[in-house]
Every structure is written in C-alpha cells, then in structure tokens.
Amino acid sequence: PEVLDLMAKSSNPVLKELAEETPIDEESGAAKGKGKKTVSSAFRRSLAELIGTLNDAEASFVRCVKPNKEKVSGKFDAGLVMEQLKMSGAMETVKIRQSGYLVRMPCLDFATRYVLLAPDARRGGVAAAG
C-alpha cells in the first residue's frame, strides 16, 4: 500500500493511473486478485489500443526535409533539398498525381467500377477483389 500511495501522489500521470486502477484488499493491504495492474499489463493494454487506433486510421506519411546540412535556420540548400525529395519518392508522387491519379481507391471499389474492362475478372466475381 505504501508504494501505491506514493504512486497516487506522483506527478507522473501514468503512475497515478496505475495506482487508481489497482484494487486493494482491506485486510491484508495487498493488491487484490489476479487482475492486478502491473506496468507491463498497462503497457500491453495501451499498445493494443494504439495498434487499434492505427489500424482504424488511414495511412498518412510525413516526410521531413532538411533545408541544409548544418540544420540552421535561414539557410536553404536547393541541391540538398532536391536530392532528399528525389530519394524519398516525393517527386515521383507529384508526377503521378499530376498525371491524374489523385486519389487512392479501395480494391473492391476499383473492381466494381472497372469490371466491364476486364471480362475475365467477372468469372471470379467482384467480391473476390475485396
């Protein structure tokens, strides 16, 4: 119980949450039952929630480009920036988008929309594409 009291008084929000969620047996003063909270169980639960959130979200990518090798403000090295953009595939992405491929389409939507262009694909059915 002393450790839980310290955790409850901590300025660290994770420790506070763990202390609040840990049931205490009044007689022995020990944490109750096999469902007691541990740092690893809280971490696993938090990680599972994060993975669920990421799986539910649409993928987005942020590409960081350094303006100069010294990483100082007010200095721009156009050659370095262009090299980074080429190596990251950003320039190809721009070309693809300019060519008219502006959106990503789920496979099933694509198959439903263009099934008439591929008669052989109809044998397997549009549902097979999803």
pLDDT 10s digits, 81-128: 999 999 999 899 888 888 877 677 788 888 888 888 877 766 655 555
Please give the structure tokens belonging to residue 61.
Answer: 């990518």
Name which residue leads in pLDDT, 27 or 3.
Answer: 3
Torsion of CA 79, 80, 81, 86, to 10 degrees: 90
Residues, the chain: 130
Query: What's the pLDDT score for residue 68?
Result: 96
Instruction: Specify whether 8 is located in the same domain as 52.
Output: yes
What Rg do the C-alpha atoms of the chain give, in angstroms? Answer: 27
Range of the domain at 125: 104-130
State whether 6 and 52 are in the same domain: yes
Assess whether 52 and 95 both reside in one domain.
Answer: no
**Are 90 and 110 part of one and the same domain?**
no
- Token pair 């044998």 is found at 123
Do the Cβ atoms of 36 and 18 come closer than 8 Å?
Answer: no
Judgement on whether residues 21 and 45 belong to the same structural domain of the protein: yes
Same domain, 89 and 48: no
Same domain? For 91 and 112 the reply is no
Domain count, the chain: 3
pLDDT tens for 47-68 read 888 888 877 877 667 778 999 9
Specify the pLDDT at position 34. 53
